[in-house]
Amino acid sequence: MVSSDQRRRQLAREKYVRQQQRREEKRRKDKRRNTVVAAVLAVVLASGGAVYASVALSDGSKKGSDNTAGDTPTTPAPSLSQESDNPEPKLTVDRKATYEMALKTNTGDIAITMDASKTPRTVNSFKHLADKKYFDGSKCHRLTTQNIYVLQCGDPQGTGTGGPGYTIPDENLDALGKAGSDGAVTFPAGTVAMANTGQPGTGGSQFFLVYKDTKLPPTYTPFGKIDAAGLKAVQEVAAAGVEGGAGDGAPKKAVTIEKATVTKK
């Protein structure tokens, strides 16, 4: 006859096994998704023959030791798990206000103006994460210098696969006008937009800074504008190129976000 203590231990073991199975299944799904979306996809449109590349990178919660962008960040998210599913933070920003995200980096300060009336949930998420020191110590892991011209940041793992454990919806997608015959719009130099997995509503913490006019599909939330000094700093990073001389990869001139803050203007 099984005692009550034995039964409790058995139930606990079974619960643990189920949890491990769910986590493993989630890791497998994330790995499959990351394999699909992490590559830079050149899209040739027959109608106009135009070529542009996708900025779609995973912003999920895959935890791993692989590091495609260089060193891992010295200060990972201190209070947000990369493993668990976290709820989107409660909307607390003033939807009528303008906010500034200040990025203090080793290559220069970057100030980003954000309009909460146009992208309230995006601004709210960045304020929430910055208040948690989520970005502090993180690397800008990706620079592209061919076809698209962006510096991508916001992954505390520094691999391009990290995220806060929640996603936010797309916003303000029509801000840059209607797509042309090539299916793209122009993201002007100085634009800051959300990276995603290539699917709607999959923004997390990763974002990209456009340092030169770039043609992309209108599927990336444009939520901010870089100040002149910040744009110059990003352009200097771009001028140094990509490690190994490639057109896409870790910037040769490494960029670390030492501190990020979001304040109401």
Q: Please state the rounded mean pLDDT for residues 155-179.
A: 94
Give the pLDDT mean for 76-86.
44
Mean pLDDT to the nearest integer, 242-258: 96
Question: What does the pLDDT read at residue 58?
Answer: 40
Q: Which structural domain range is residue 244 located in? A: 38-264
Do 98 and 162 form a contact (C-beta atoms < 8 A)?
Answer: no
What value does the mean pLDDT take over residues 21-44? 50
Q: What share of the chain is helix, strand, coil (3-state, %, to 5)?
A: 25, 25, 50
Query: Which of 68-72, 121-125, 135-139, 225-229 is predicted least confidently?
Result: 68-72
Give the list of residues 6+ apart from residue 228 with CB closer than 8 angstroms, or none: none
Q: How many percent of the chain have pLDDT more than 70?
A: 68
Residue 199 lies in a domain: yes
Whether 87 is covered by a domain: the verdict is yes
The pLDDT value recorded for residue 53 is 47
Q: What percent of the chain has pLDDT over 90?
A: 65
* Cβ-proximal residues to 196 (8 Å cutoff; 6+ apart), any chain: 56, 59, 170, 202, 203, 219, 220
Q: Say what the pLDDT of residue 14 is.
A: 67
Mean pLDDT (the chain) is 81
163 lies in a domain? Answer: yes
Please, which pLDDT band fits residue 79 given cuts at 50, 70 and 90?
A: very low
Q: Which helix (H) or strand (E) holds 257?
A: strand 256-264
**Does the pLDDT of residue 8 top 60, yes or no?**
yes
Q: What is the CATH number of the domain that holds 91?
A: 2.40.100.10
CA-closest candidate to residue 127, choices 105, 98, 165: 98
- What is the rounded distance in angstroms from the CA atom of residue 140 to the CA atom of residue 152? 6
* Calpha distance 128→223 (Å, rounded): 15
Q: Is residue 257 part of a domain?
A: yes
Is 20 part of a structural domain of the chain? Answer: no
Burial 130-162 (b: 16+ CB within 10 A, else e): beebbbbbbbbbbbbbebbbbbbbbbbbbbbbb
Q: Does residue 32 form part of some domain?
A: no
pLDDT for residue 86: 84
Given this model, what pLDDT does residue 74 score? 25
Mean pLDDT across 14-42: 54
Question: What pLDDT, on a 0 to 100 scale, did the predictor assign at position 175?
Answer: 97
pLDDT for the residue numbered 30: 55
- pLDDT tens figures, 180-229: 999 999 999 999 999 999 899 999 999 999 999 999 999 999 999 999 99
Task: Note whether 213 and 172 are within 8 A (CB).
Answer: no
Neighbours of 222 (CB within 10 A): 24
pLDDT score of 50 more than 90: no
Is 30 contained in some domain? no
Does the structure show a pLDDT above 80 at 238? yes
Give the total number of structural domains in the chain. Answer: 1
- Map 193-222 to HEC letters: EECCCCCCCCECCCEEEECCCEEECCCCCE
Whether 80 maps to a domain, the answer reads yes
Chain centroid offset of residue 175 CA: 20
Strands 98-105 and 256-264 turn out to be antiparallel
